[in-house]
Amino acid sequence: MASSKAYGDRVASHSNRAAQDLLRTMERKQSNLCVSVDVTSKAAFLAVVEAVGPFVCLIKTHVDVIADFDADLVEQLTQLAAKHDFLIFEDRKFADIGNTVSLQYAGGIYKIASWSHITNAHTVPGPGIIAGLAKVGLPLGRGLLLLAEMSSAGNLATGAYSDQTIAMARAHRDFVVGFIAMQRPSGPADEDFLILTPGVQLGSKGDALGQQYRTPREVVFDSGCDVIIVGRGVTGSGESINVEEVQHQARRYRDEGWSAYRERIASN
Ligand code: 5BU
């Protein structure tokens, strides 16, 4: 069972380069923390990434919210990824037919496939979305997460929808490395998906717009998920970045996430 194994020992269960690199990075940095950098200016974005870089295995982006996005932002982000040893996950949530998503992934202003190691997709269009993204991403060694579940109240990614999403992933193991999900799905003992989980915060149960929070321990120990995705719990809300506070929170979530993982491994 993947949840009982050390991250580093799971590299061999994956053929996808992005999945292998993420697991190796987690082991090397002793971090299962992904910080979601949801700020709207390039300066604030780069300031947060520089501040949290040492503590994370992964930086999650929504590049379409950055008002002054440009190619230099990607250049600087890529340099910070090398400097601080983390991977990049553009949380694009593709949701169209295969042909359209292949254009959206490769091109436009953002050229996501050229810099983002991991991205994600809804399965509502059917498996053609995976084929369309794989056509672009696989030759570059990229990986895809499917949204099997979401963190927000009242979302429709439940039951049969989640089950069919997992079945689609099983049929595309070369490119689909895992899920956005709230818990590890059950499956054969030798099956290894990466489970990345948003909706994580200490000291808050949710926001005013439907977000629902759990603690790192609930996510990693109780639910068997691999990576905690934390946004405002680390960055705060708004654009004014207090670097010391952001670093303090990143260290705190990194420590909480890692000790929950250690506890999980020890209990199995
Ligand atoms: P927060 O500030 O920790 O609430 O930010 C959570 C981030 O994770 C934010 O970028 C969301 O777009 C993202 N997210 C989520 O919250 N829930 C989901 O189910 C998915 C993504 Br998929």
Q: What is the CATH number of the domain that holds 233?
A: 3.20.20.70
Ligand 1 centroid distance, CA of 199 (Å) = 6
pLDDT at 84 over 80: yes
Predicted pLDDT of residue 1:
75
Distance of CA 70 to the CA centre of its chain: 22
State the average pLDDT over residues 35-39: 98
**Percent of all residues in the chain with a pLDDT value above 90, rounded to a whole number:** 97
Predicted pLDDT of residue 239:
75
Distances (CA, A) of 70 to 73, 111, 211: 5, 11, 29
Ligand 1 centroid distance, CA of 204 (Å) = 14
Mutate to test the pocket of ligand 1, among 33, 34, 36, 66 (most ligand atoms within 8 A of CB): 36
Residue with tokens 């895809």: 144
Annotated binding site: 38, 60, 151, 211, 231-232
Q: How would you classify residue 192: left for phi > 0, otherwise alpha for psi between -120 and 50, otherwise beta? A: beta
Which of the 8 DSSP states describes residue 172? T
Ligand 1 centroid distance, CA of 170 (Å) = 25
Please, which residues have CB within 8 angstroms of residue 208's CB and are 6 or more apart in sequence?
Answer: none
- Catalytically active residues are 91, 93, 96
Strand ranges (E), the chain: 33-36, 58-61, 87-94, 118-121, 143-147, 176-180, 194-197, 227-230
Atom number, ligand 1, closest to the C-alpha of residue 237:
2
Contact indicator for 117, 87 with CB cutoff of 8 Å: yes
Query: Which pair of tokens denotes residue 235?
Result: 């960055």
* 154 three-state secondary structure: coil
Predicted pLDDT of residue 215:
98
Euclidean distance between CA atoms 93 and 70, whole angstroms: 21
Residue with tokens 């039951």: 159
Q: Is the pTM of this model over 0.95?
A: yes
Ligand 1 binding site (Cβ under 6 Å of any ligand atom):
36, 38, 62, 91, 147, 150-152, 180, 198-199, 201, 211, 229-233
Tens digits of per-residue pLDDT, 101-160? 999 999 999 999 999 999 999 999 999 999 999 999 999 999 999 999 999 999 999 999
Average pLDDT of the chain?
97
Please, is 167 exposed, middle or buried when counting C-beta atoms within 10 Å of its C-beta (0-12, 13-18, 19+)? Answer: exposed
Tens digits of per-residue pLDDT, 2-20? 889 999 999 999 999 999 9
Ligand 1 centroid distance, CA of 38 (Å) = 9
Please, which residues have CB within 8 angstroms of residue 8's CB and are 6 or more apart in sequence?
Answer: 23, 24, 26, 27
Distances (CA, A) of 222 to 5, 131, 148, 182: 15, 33, 18, 10
| Domain housing 167 | 2-266
pLDDT at 68 over 80: yes
Atom number, ligand 1, closest to the C-alpha of residue 62:
10
Predicted pLDDT of residue 131:
98
Tens digits of per-residue pLDDT, 220-244? 999 999 999 999 999 999 778 999 9
| DSSP bridge pairs for 172 | none
Euclidean distance between CA atoms 117 and 214, whole angstroms: 26
Biggest CA pair distance of the chain: 47
Number of domain units in the chain: 1
- Band of pLDDT at residue 256, cut at 50, 70 and 90: very high
Phi first, then psi: give them for residue 206, nearest 5 degrees: 170, 180
Annotated binding site for substrate: 38, 60, 151, 211, 231-232
- Band of pLDDT at residue 59, cut at 50, 70 and 90: very high
Contact indicator for 27, 7 with CB cutoff of 8 Å: yes
pLDDT at 165 over 80: yes
Euclidean distance between CA atoms 65 and 229, whole angstroms: 18
Phi first, then psi: give them for residue 235, nearest 5 degrees: -85, -20
Predicted pLDDT of residue 2:
85
Predicted pLDDT of residue 152:
98
Amino acid at site 173: R
pLDDT at 266 over 80: yes
